[in-house]
Structure 1
Amino acid sequence: MSIFRYFQSAANTQIYSRMNLFGIITDTDYRLDAITLRIGRTVNNQRRSTMIYGRLENVAAEAATLPENILEGLKFLERTDLAALPEGKVEIDGDRMFALVQDYTTKPKDTVRPEAHKRYIDIQYVALGREQIGIAPLAKVSEIAEDLLEDKDVCFYSNAPEESMILLSTGGYTVFYPWDVHRPGCSADAESVVRKIVVKIAL
Protein backbone atom coordinates (compact mmCIF):
# COMPACT_ATOMS: atom_id res chain seq x y z
CA MET A 1 0.00 0.00 0.00
CA SER A 2 1.14 3.49 -0.73
CA ILE A 3 2.55 5.60 2.09
CA PHE A 4 3.28 9.29 1.48
CA ARG A 5 4.71 11.49 4.17
CA TYR A 6 5.24 15.19 3.73
CA PHE A 7 6.99 17.83 5.71
CA GLN A 8 6.81 21.59 5.33
CA SER A 9 10.14 23.31 4.77
CA ALA A 10 10.57 27.05 5.08
CA ALA A 11 9.88 27.64 1.37
CA ASN A 12 7.99 24.66 0.02
CA THR A 13 6.62 21.19 0.59
CA GLN A 14 8.74 18.18 -0.26
CA ILE A 15 8.18 14.47 -0.48
CA TYR A 16 9.82 13.02 2.61
CA SER A 17 9.46 9.39 1.66
CA ARG A 18 7.74 7.40 -1.03
CA MET A 19 6.72 3.85 -1.72
CA ASN A 20 5.06 2.00 -4.62
CA LEU A 21 1.55 3.46 -4.97
CA PHE A 22 -0.09 0.70 -7.00
CA GLY A 23 1.09 -2.82 -7.67
CA ILE A 24 0.65 -2.24 -11.41
CA ILE A 25 3.12 0.62 -11.59
CA THR A 26 6.22 -0.25 -13.55
CA ASP A 27 7.68 3.23 -13.86
CA THR A 28 6.66 6.03 -11.53
CA ASP A 29 7.39 9.74 -11.58
CA TYR A 30 6.60 11.79 -8.48
CA ARG A 31 6.62 15.58 -8.74
CA LEU A 32 5.58 18.14 -6.19
CA ASP A 33 4.80 21.57 -7.67
CA ALA A 34 3.92 24.00 -4.87
CA ILE A 35 1.88 21.57 -2.76
CA THR A 36 0.24 19.69 -5.62
CA LEU A 37 1.14 16.03 -5.99
CA ARG A 38 1.10 14.56 -9.48
CA ILE A 39 1.69 10.89 -10.10
CA GLY A 40 2.56 9.45 -13.49
CA ARG A 41 2.61 5.76 -14.21
CA THR A 42 3.33 3.40 -17.07
CA VAL A 43 0.81 0.62 -17.56
CA ASN A 44 1.19 -1.87 -20.43
CA ASN A 45 3.84 0.41 -21.94
CA GLN A 46 1.36 3.32 -22.09
CA ARG A 47 2.12 6.45 -20.06
CA ARG A 48 -0.83 7.70 -18.03
CA SER A 49 -1.32 10.69 -15.78
CA THR A 50 -3.38 10.10 -12.71
CA MET A 51 -4.53 11.71 -9.49
CA ILE A 52 -3.70 15.37 -9.08
CA TYR A 53 -3.96 16.57 -5.48
CA GLY A 54 -3.59 20.19 -4.43
CA ARG A 55 -5.16 23.42 -3.19
CA LEU A 56 -7.07 26.02 -5.15
CA GLU A 57 -5.00 28.86 -3.69
CA ASN A 58 -1.94 27.52 -5.53
CA VAL A 59 -3.46 27.26 -9.01
CA ALA A 60 -1.91 30.49 -10.33
CA ALA A 61 1.58 29.35 -9.34
CA GLU A 62 1.01 25.90 -10.85
CA ALA A 63 -0.82 26.89 -14.04
CA ALA A 64 2.06 26.07 -16.38
CA THR A 65 2.27 22.51 -15.03
CA LEU A 66 -1.44 21.65 -15.27
CA PRO A 67 -3.23 20.06 -18.25
CA GLU A 68 -5.25 22.67 -20.14
CA ASN A 69 -8.66 21.11 -19.45
CA ILE A 70 -7.90 20.67 -15.74
CA LEU A 71 -6.74 24.28 -15.49
CA GLU A 72 -9.96 25.43 -17.15
CA GLY A 73 -12.01 23.57 -14.57
CA LEU A 74 -9.97 24.98 -11.69
CA LYS A 75 -10.34 28.51 -13.03
CA PHE A 76 -14.11 28.04 -12.99
CA LEU A 77 -13.83 27.19 -9.29
CA GLU A 78 -11.62 30.24 -8.69
CA ARG A 79 -13.92 32.78 -10.30
CA THR A 80 -17.26 31.43 -9.04
CA ASP A 81 -19.05 32.28 -5.80
CA LEU A 82 -19.34 28.65 -4.77
CA ALA A 83 -21.26 29.36 -1.56
CA ALA A 84 -24.05 30.97 -3.58
CA LEU A 85 -24.54 28.08 -6.01
CA PRO A 86 -27.68 25.97 -5.63
CA GLU A 87 -27.33 22.21 -5.34
CA GLY A 88 -27.39 20.36 -8.61
CA LYS A 89 -25.91 20.78 -12.07
CA VAL A 90 -24.21 24.03 -13.13
CA GLU A 91 -23.51 24.62 -16.82
CA ILE A 92 -19.97 25.55 -17.89
CA ASP A 93 -19.61 24.39 -21.50
CA GLY A 94 -22.43 22.03 -22.35
CA ASP A 95 -21.62 18.33 -22.12
CA ARG A 96 -17.90 19.03 -22.47
CA MET A 97 -17.64 20.52 -18.98
CA PHE A 98 -20.14 21.08 -16.20
CA ALA A 99 -20.23 21.12 -12.39
CA LEU A 100 -22.24 19.24 -9.80
CA VAL A 101 -22.84 21.03 -6.49
CA GLN A 102 -23.30 18.61 -3.59
CA ASP A 103 -24.15 19.22 0.08
CA TYR A 104 -23.92 16.21 2.39
CA THR A 105 -22.64 14.79 5.65
CA THR A 106 -19.70 12.39 5.46
CA LYS A 107 -20.23 8.72 6.27
CA PRO A 108 -18.12 5.86 7.65
CA LYS A 109 -15.88 4.43 4.96
CA ASP A 110 -17.46 0.98 5.04
CA THR A 111 -20.86 2.44 4.10
CA VAL A 112 -19.57 4.22 0.97
CA ARG A 113 -19.12 2.32 -2.30
CA PRO A 114 -16.01 2.85 -4.45
CA GLU A 115 -16.81 4.20 -7.92
CA ALA A 116 -15.28 5.00 -11.29
CA HIS A 117 -16.33 6.77 -14.47
CA LYS A 118 -15.69 6.09 -18.15
CA ARG A 119 -16.50 9.27 -20.09
CA TYR A 120 -15.55 12.03 -17.65
CA ILE A 121 -12.63 13.18 -15.51
CA ASP A 122 -13.56 14.42 -12.01
CA ILE A 123 -12.18 17.49 -10.29
CA GLN A 124 -13.49 17.07 -6.74
CA TYR A 125 -13.19 20.30 -4.75
CA VAL A 126 -14.15 20.71 -1.09
CA ALA A 127 -15.57 24.21 -0.68
CA LEU A 128 -16.49 23.59 2.94
CA GLY A 129 -15.81 20.80 5.41
CA ARG A 130 -13.44 17.87 5.67
CA GLU A 131 -13.51 14.36 4.26
CA GLN A 132 -11.42 11.38 3.29
CA ILE A 133 -11.42 9.97 -0.23
CA GLY A 134 -10.14 6.53 -1.11
CA ILE A 135 -8.25 5.86 -4.34
CA ALA A 136 -7.36 2.51 -5.91
CA PRO A 137 -6.24 1.29 -9.36
CA LEU A 138 -9.11 0.20 -11.60
CA ALA A 139 -6.97 -2.70 -12.86
CA LYS A 140 -7.03 -4.20 -9.36
CA VAL A 141 -10.82 -3.94 -8.90
CA SER A 142 -12.98 -6.73 -10.28
CA GLU A 143 -16.16 -7.11 -8.21
CA ILE A 144 -18.84 -4.82 -9.68
CA ALA A 145 -21.72 -3.94 -7.36
CA GLU A 146 -23.75 -1.82 -9.81
CA ASP A 147 -22.94 -0.82 -13.39
CA LEU A 148 -24.58 2.47 -14.41
CA LEU A 149 -21.97 3.52 -16.97
CA GLU A 150 -24.38 3.57 -19.90
CA ASP A 151 -26.95 5.88 -18.28
CA LYS A 152 -25.05 7.79 -15.59
CA ASP A 153 -21.34 7.24 -16.34
CA VAL A 154 -20.68 5.60 -12.99
CA CYS A 155 -19.83 2.06 -11.95
CA PHE A 156 -19.90 1.07 -8.28
CA TYR A 157 -17.65 -1.63 -6.87
CA SER A 158 -17.95 -3.92 -3.86
CA ASN A 159 -14.39 -3.32 -2.70
CA ALA A 160 -11.19 -1.51 -3.64
CA PRO A 161 -8.00 -3.55 -3.22
CA GLU A 162 -4.81 -1.56 -2.56
CA GLU A 163 -6.85 1.50 -1.61
CA SER A 164 -5.09 4.58 -0.22
CA MET A 165 -6.88 7.38 1.62
CA ILE A 166 -6.55 11.12 0.92
CA LEU A 167 -7.64 13.80 3.39
CA LEU A 168 -9.34 16.84 1.83
CA SER A 169 -10.24 19.94 3.81
CA THR A 170 -11.73 23.28 2.75
CA GLY A 171 -9.84 24.55 -0.30
CA GLY A 172 -8.43 21.18 -1.34
CA TYR A 173 -9.08 19.32 -4.58
CA THR A 174 -8.28 16.06 -6.31
CA VAL A 175 -8.49 15.02 -9.95
CA PHE A 176 -9.57 11.48 -10.81
CA TYR A 177 -9.25 9.84 -14.23
CA PRO A 178 -11.34 6.86 -15.43
CA TRP A 179 -8.64 4.42 -14.28
CA ASP A 180 -8.80 5.83 -10.74
CA VAL A 181 -11.41 4.10 -8.58
CA HIS A 182 -12.37 6.52 -5.80
CA ARG A 183 -14.47 6.44 -2.64
CA PRO A 184 -15.57 10.02 -1.81
CA GLY A 185 -17.46 11.40 1.17
CA CYS A 186 -15.84 9.30 3.91
CA SER A 187 -15.61 10.63 7.46
CA ALA A 188 -12.16 11.46 8.77
CA ASP A 189 -12.08 11.69 12.58
CA ALA A 190 -15.78 12.49 12.81
CA GLU A 191 -18.78 13.33 10.64
CA SER A 192 -18.44 16.60 8.73
CA VAL A 193 -20.89 18.69 6.75
CA VAL A 194 -19.37 19.14 3.30
CA ARG A 195 -20.06 21.33 0.31
CA LYS A 196 -18.33 19.78 -2.68
CA ILE A 197 -18.18 20.92 -6.26
CA VAL A 198 -17.38 18.21 -8.78
CA VAL A 199 -16.28 19.56 -12.16
CA LYS A 200 -16.92 16.94 -14.84
CA ILE A 201 -14.61 17.11 -17.89
CA ALA A 202 -15.35 15.00 -20.97
CA LEU A 203 -12.54 12.89 -22.35
Structure 2
Amino acid sequence: MIYDTLDRIGEYRGMGEWLDRAIDFLENTDMERLPSGRTEIAGTDCFINVMETVTKEETQADFEVHRKYMDIQIDLEGMEEIQIGGTTEGEKFPYSEEMDFGTVLCEKKAACLLGRGRFILCMAGEPHKPGVAAGEPGRLKKCVIKVRV
Protein backbone atom coordinates (compact mmCIF):
# COMPACT_ATOMS: atom_id res chain seq x y z
CA MET A 1 0.00 0.00 0.00
CA ILE A 2 1.09 3.52 -0.75
CA TYR A 3 -0.86 6.38 0.85
CA ASP A 4 0.15 9.91 -0.09
CA THR A 5 -0.95 13.25 -1.56
CA LEU A 6 -1.69 13.58 -5.27
CA ASP A 7 0.91 16.31 -5.70
CA ARG A 8 3.58 13.69 -4.87
CA ILE A 9 2.32 10.86 -7.11
CA GLY A 10 5.09 11.45 -9.66
CA GLU A 11 7.61 10.23 -7.09
CA TYR A 12 6.30 6.69 -7.57
CA ARG A 13 7.38 6.42 -11.21
CA GLY A 14 9.61 3.51 -12.14
CA MET A 15 7.65 0.74 -10.42
CA GLY A 16 6.08 -0.46 -13.67
CA GLU A 17 5.15 0.62 -17.19
CA TRP A 18 1.39 0.72 -16.60
CA LEU A 19 1.75 2.54 -13.28
CA ASP A 20 3.89 5.15 -15.05
CA ARG A 21 1.13 5.55 -17.67
CA ALA A 22 -1.46 5.99 -14.90
CA ILE A 23 0.71 8.62 -13.20
CA ASP A 24 1.17 10.51 -16.50
CA PHE A 25 -2.61 10.46 -16.97
CA LEU A 26 -3.25 11.75 -13.44
CA GLU A 27 -0.73 14.57 -13.80
CA ASN A 28 -2.18 15.71 -17.14
CA THR A 29 -5.94 15.26 -16.66
CA ASP A 30 -8.58 17.31 -14.90
CA MET A 31 -10.22 14.48 -12.98
CA GLU A 32 -13.29 16.64 -12.28
CA ARG A 33 -14.11 16.63 -16.01
CA LEU A 34 -14.05 12.87 -16.53
CA PRO A 35 -17.40 11.24 -17.31
CA SER A 36 -18.92 8.60 -15.06
CA GLY A 37 -17.98 5.08 -16.02
CA ARG A 38 -14.88 3.75 -17.71
CA THR A 39 -12.21 5.78 -19.52
CA GLU A 40 -9.37 3.85 -21.12
CA ILE A 41 -5.81 5.01 -20.58
CA ALA A 42 -4.03 2.03 -22.20
CA GLY A 43 -6.75 -0.48 -23.13
CA THR A 44 -7.18 -3.25 -20.58
CA ASP A 45 -3.71 -2.61 -19.10
CA CYS A 46 -4.66 0.68 -17.50
CA PHE A 47 -8.09 2.30 -17.22
CA ILE A 48 -10.12 4.46 -14.87
CA ASN A 49 -13.63 4.06 -13.46
CA VAL A 50 -15.45 7.14 -12.14
CA MET A 51 -18.37 6.33 -9.86
CA GLU A 52 -20.77 7.78 -7.33
CA THR A 53 -21.84 5.87 -4.25
CA VAL A 54 -22.73 6.30 -0.59
CA THR A 55 -20.23 5.32 2.09
CA LYS A 56 -21.18 2.43 4.39
CA GLU A 57 -20.82 1.44 7.99
CA GLU A 58 -17.68 -0.67 8.47
CA THR A 59 -19.71 -3.86 9.00
CA GLN A 60 -21.50 -3.39 5.65
CA ALA A 61 -18.31 -3.33 3.57
CA ASP A 62 -15.97 -6.20 2.68
CA PHE A 63 -12.25 -6.60 2.13
CA GLU A 64 -11.77 -7.09 -1.60
CA VAL A 65 -8.82 -8.65 -3.40
CA HIS A 66 -7.61 -8.36 -6.98
CA ARG A 67 -4.77 -10.39 -8.47
CA LYS A 68 -4.37 -8.90 -11.97
CA TYR A 69 -4.62 -5.19 -11.12
CA MET A 70 -3.45 -2.65 -8.58
CA ASP A 71 -5.99 0.02 -7.58
CA ILE A 72 -5.26 3.72 -7.31
CA GLN A 73 -8.23 5.16 -5.43
CA ILE A 74 -8.97 8.89 -5.35
CA ASP A 75 -11.95 10.72 -3.82
CA LEU A 76 -13.23 13.56 -6.00
CA GLU A 77 -16.12 14.62 -3.71
CA GLY A 78 -16.75 13.49 -0.16
CA MET A 79 -14.48 11.42 2.04
CA GLU A 80 -14.08 7.76 2.89
CA GLU A 81 -12.02 5.54 5.09
CA ILE A 82 -10.17 2.76 3.29
CA GLN A 83 -8.98 -0.15 5.37
CA ILE A 84 -6.03 -2.38 4.48
CA GLY A 85 -6.27 -5.93 5.76
CA GLY A 86 -3.52 -7.82 7.49
CA THR A 87 -3.42 -11.60 7.36
CA THR A 88 -6.31 -13.14 5.44
CA GLU A 89 -8.52 -15.26 7.69
CA GLY A 90 -10.43 -16.97 4.85
CA GLU A 91 -12.60 -16.24 1.81
CA LYS A 92 -16.03 -14.67 1.96
CA PHE A 93 -16.77 -14.52 -1.79
CA PRO A 94 -14.42 -16.82 -3.75
CA TYR A 95 -11.99 -15.10 -6.10
CA SER A 96 -13.18 -14.96 -9.72
CA GLU A 97 -10.43 -14.92 -12.35
CA GLU A 98 -12.86 -13.44 -14.88
CA MET A 99 -13.90 -10.55 -12.62
CA ASP A 100 -10.50 -10.25 -10.90
CA PHE A 101 -12.45 -9.93 -7.68
CA GLY A 102 -13.00 -11.81 -4.45
CA THR A 103 -13.68 -10.89 -0.84
CA VAL A 104 -11.82 -12.11 2.20
CA LEU A 105 -12.00 -11.92 5.96
CA CYS A 106 -9.27 -10.02 7.77
CA GLU A 107 -9.08 -9.72 11.53
CA LYS A 108 -6.31 -7.09 11.67
CA LYS A 109 -6.39 -3.90 9.66
CA ALA A 110 -5.02 -0.39 9.24
CA ALA A 111 -7.20 2.55 8.18
CA CYS A 112 -6.50 5.61 6.03
CA LEU A 113 -8.73 8.63 5.39
CA LEU A 114 -8.85 9.55 1.75
CA GLY A 115 -10.66 12.78 0.79
CA ARG A 116 -9.63 15.42 -1.75
CA GLY A 117 -5.98 15.66 -2.67
CA ARG A 118 -4.99 12.19 -1.42
CA PHE A 119 -4.63 8.78 -3.06
CA ILE A 120 -4.09 5.22 -1.98
CA LEU A 121 -2.41 2.58 -4.13
CA CYS A 122 -3.52 -0.92 -3.16
CA MET A 123 -1.19 -3.58 -4.54
CA ALA A 124 -2.49 -6.69 -6.30
CA GLY A 125 -3.27 -9.34 -3.69
CA GLU A 126 -3.56 -6.76 -0.89
CA PRO A 127 -6.94 -6.93 0.89
CA HIS A 128 -8.59 -3.51 1.00
CA LYS A 129 -11.99 -2.29 2.16
CA PRO A 130 -13.02 0.92 0.38
CA GLY A 131 -16.15 2.96 0.94
CA VAL A 132 -16.23 2.94 4.74
CA ALA A 133 -17.94 5.99 6.20
CA ALA A 134 -15.60 8.50 7.84
CA GLY A 135 -18.21 9.44 10.44
CA GLU A 136 -21.79 9.40 9.14
CA PRO A 137 -22.45 7.67 5.79
CA GLY A 138 -22.48 10.19 2.95
CA ARG A 139 -22.26 10.73 -0.79
CA LEU A 140 -18.95 9.92 -2.43
CA LYS A 141 -17.70 10.54 -5.96
CA LYS A 142 -14.45 8.74 -6.64
CA CYS A 143 -12.27 7.24 -9.29
CA VAL A 144 -10.42 3.96 -9.27
CA ILE A 145 -7.57 3.49 -11.71
CA LYS A 146 -6.92 -0.16 -12.50
CA VAL A 147 -3.24 -0.86 -13.29
CA ARG A 148 -2.24 -4.29 -14.65
CA VAL A 149 0.63 -5.97 -12.80
| Aligned counterparts of 1:146 and 1:63: Cα–Cα separation in 2 | 32
**Are the structure 2 counterparts of residues 63 and 182 from structure 1 closer, same or farther at C-alpha, using a change threshold of 3 Å?**
closer
Normalising by structure 1, what TM-score? 0.67
% identity of equivalent residues: 28
Which residue is equivalent to 1:120? 69
Shift of 1:184: 0.1
Normalising by structure 2, what TM-score? 0.89
Residues 1-203 of structure 1: pairs in structure 2 closer than 5 A: 51-60=1-10, 62=11, 67-68=15-16, 69-137=18-86, 140-157=87-104, 159-203=105-149
Larger RCO: 1 or 2 (CA < 8 Å, sep 6+) = 2
Further displaced range: 125-134 or 70-79: 70-79
| Aligned counterparts of 2:117 and 2:138: Cα–Cα separation in 1 | 15
Is the Cα–Cα contact under 8 Å of residues 124 and 173 in structure 1 kept in the other structure? Answer: yes
SS at match of 1:180: coil
User: What are the Cα deviations for residues 99-157 of structure 1, in whole angstroms up to 9, with x where unaligned?
Assistant: 111111111111001101011111111122111001013xx213212124222101112
The residue type paired with residue 128 of structure 1 is: E
| Aligned counterparts of 1:77 and 1:147: Cα–Cα separation in 2 | 32
Shift of 1:183: 0.2
Question: For the pair shown, which has the larger CA radius of gyration, 1 or 2?
Answer: 1
The residue type paired with residue 147 of structure 1 is: P
Shift of 1:79: 1.8
| Aligned counterparts of 1:102 and 1:123: Cα–Cα separation in 2 | 14
SS at match of 2:127: strand
Shift of 1:94: 0.7
| Aligned counterparts of 2:41 and 2:107: Cα–Cα separation in 1 | 35
